[in-house]
């Protein structure tokens, strides 16, 4: 398929050391359409939120991250509203590829389609400096129905997007560490081909190939620092009053589950790839991730090998203390949306972007979420434009829930419906939270699907 092939070409470019960081279309300047006019689409008003339970944090609303971690999404709270899952320091949504659900799939090398779900869980940990420039990330993925043997879940993915050869390991505290790979003859790699009882943990989260650092302007010290860990960083203009967040991106070709390791791997990306992007202000983050993985691996006792794709968005950061939220007044936040959509849920996935405005009424305890200028986030020739596109805008009202720094509920967008949630981030400034971030997902009767995340800053109007 066109987009999948284009992505494969982009990934090949990484082998010569370049990681491109898209501006997402929605962050090229001041958000268009904000502050005037009206959005199209429907409104969805939810009278109350079904969330219950504790705040999932300390007395200031923030669950501590592991030692040495600057910001994290935290563990699952075990609470979902539709397809939106809450974690201790954020919320998220996930989408599964649909091609692997087909009774027959002639193109087993690719994975395509998009189905929003509340299954699986993603956690993100980041390391950043005092100016919020990220220099390292750990993406942790679990319970995504990636079954190497066709029966049981693979070990948890620990992806650091590092440049060096080695074994990534996550301890009880802090960011991941990189250990040396054992030699090929070591019993560590013993995989019993008769009973398929080999240690799957030993074949997960290994980096068998070194790769060159992404290209940076030598004068951009923040980018250079990030590039040492395989990331590319572009600074935003939010520090000088703009809306553009900091942006990082990373891609790594992986070989998880391949029993040829460590010295007989045929090529980088033998079993798939992973992408990550993260946008952040001072306190709030929103990230998107994609993982493509081979399942039913024959060496592990699987049947017909094929690939699955999973993707999701995570909003997280330094939560606003729920007890400090104002009980009256209103605030307006502006920012951006980024995600993916499939015209029918079955075919290729396109990147999408939008502008965002959120008006929060603290007296009524609700947030009005406006999506504006929804668009495909890539340049396409006219003959490759999909015939079915997302509605260009919508307005929905989200009620406050529990934890008290959360607004979440059902939404509609054109002919599609789903869920959205947001949380407030940062200490109260000028009597209001300074930032927010969230996730959303929708599905229409026609089959159209979309998931994504958003981030916004408070603006004074």
The pLDDT assigned to 62 comes to 67
- Residues 432/418, Cβ–Cβ less than 8 Å: no
The pLDDT assigned to 199 comes to 85
The Cα 373–Cα 394 span in angstroms is 10
pLDDT in tens, 218-246: 888 889 989 988 999 999 999 999 999 99
Q: Does the predicted TM-score (pTM) go above 0.85?
A: yes
- Residues 248/231, Cβ–Cβ less than 8 Å: yes
- Residues 135/129, Cβ–Cβ less than 8 Å: yes
- The helix/strand/coil state of 382 is helix
The pLDDT assigned to 102 comes to 60
Cα-based angle 188, 190, 194 (whole degrees, multiple of 5): 160
Say which residues have a Cβ less than 8 Å from residue 8's Cβ, sequence separation at least 6. Answer: none
pLDDT in tens, 253-275: 999 999 998 999 999 999 999 99
Say which residues have a Cβ less than 8 Å from residue 391's Cβ, sequence separation at least 6. Answer: 40, 41, 374, 413, 414, 415, 416
Greatest Cα-to-Cα distance within the chain, rounded to the nearest angstrom: 69
- In degrees rounded to 5, what are phi and psi of residue 14? -65, -25
CA distances (Å), origin 452, targets 15, 156, 366: 28, 23, 21
The pLDDT assigned to 293 comes to 97
- The helix/strand/coil state of 383 is helix
The pLDDT assigned to 330 comes to 97
Computed over every residue of the chain, the mean pLDDT equals 86
The Cα 191–Cα 203 span in angstroms is 10
CA-derived radius of gyration, the chain? 21
The structural domains of the chain, with segments of one domain joined by +, span 2-459
Residues of the chain predicted below pLDDT 70? 1-62, 101-107, 172-173, 193-198
Q: Which two tokens stand for residue 364?
A: 């009524």
The pLDDT assigned to 99 comes to 87
The pLDDT assigned to 105 comes to 64
């Amino acid at each position: 398929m066109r987009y999948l092939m284009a992505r494969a070409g982009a990934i090949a470019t990484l082998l010569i050391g370049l990681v491109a960081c898209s501006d997402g279309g929605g962050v090229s300047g001041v958000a268009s359409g904000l502050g005037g006019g009206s959005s199209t689409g429907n409104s969805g008003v939810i009278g109350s939120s079904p969330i219950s339970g504790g705040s999932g944090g300390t007395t200031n609303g923030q669950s501590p991250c592991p030692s040495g971690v600057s910001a994290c999404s935290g563990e699952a709270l075990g609470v979902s509203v539709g397809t939106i899952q809450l974690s201790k320091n954020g919320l998220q949504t996930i989408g599964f590829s649909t091609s692997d659900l087909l009774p027959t799939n002639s193109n087993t090398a690719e994975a395509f389609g998009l189905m929003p779900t509340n299954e699986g869980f993603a956690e993100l940990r980041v390391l950043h400096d005092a100016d919020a420039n990220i220099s390292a990330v750990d993406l942790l993925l679990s319970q995504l129905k990636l079954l190497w043997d066709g029966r049981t879940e693979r070990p948890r993915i620990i992806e650091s997007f590092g440049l060096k050869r080695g074994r990534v390991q996550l301890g009880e505290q802090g960011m991941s560490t990189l250990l040396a790979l054992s030699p090929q003859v070591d019993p560590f790699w013993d995989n019993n081909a008769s009973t398929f009882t080999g240690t799957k943990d030993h074949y997960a989260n290994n980096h068998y190939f070194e790769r060159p650092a992404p290209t940076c302007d030598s004068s951009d010290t923040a980018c250079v620092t990030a590039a040492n860990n395989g990331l590319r960083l572009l600074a935003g203009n939010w520090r000088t009053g703009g809306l553009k967040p900091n942006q990082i991106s990373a891609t790594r070709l992986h070989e998880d589950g391949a029993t040829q390791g460590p010295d007989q791997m045929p090529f980088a990306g033998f079993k798939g790839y992973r992408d990550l992007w993260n946008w952040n202000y001072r306190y709030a983050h929103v990230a998107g991730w994609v993982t493509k993985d081979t399942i039913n691996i024959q060496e592990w006792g699987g049947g017909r090998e094929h690939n699955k794709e999973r993707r999701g968005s995570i909003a997280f950061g330094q939560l606003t203390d729920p007890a400090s939220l104002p009980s009256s007044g209103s605030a307006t936040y502006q920012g951006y949306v980024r995600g993916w959509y499939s015209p029918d849920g079955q075919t290729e996935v396109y990147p999408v972007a939008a502008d965002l405005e959120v008006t929060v009424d603290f007296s009524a305890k609700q947030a009005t979420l406006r999506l504006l200028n929804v668009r495909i986030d890539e340049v396409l020739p006219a003959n490759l434009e999909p015939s079915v596109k997302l509605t260009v805008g919508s307005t929905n009202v989200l009620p406050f829930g529990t934890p008290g720094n959360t607004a979440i509920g059902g939404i509609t967008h054109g002919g599609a419906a789903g869920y959205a949630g947001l949380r407030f981030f940062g200490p109260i400034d000028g009597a209001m939270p300074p930032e927010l971030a969230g996730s959303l997902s929708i599905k229409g009767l026609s089959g159209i699907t979309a998931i994504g995340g958003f981030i916004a800053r408070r603006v004074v109007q």
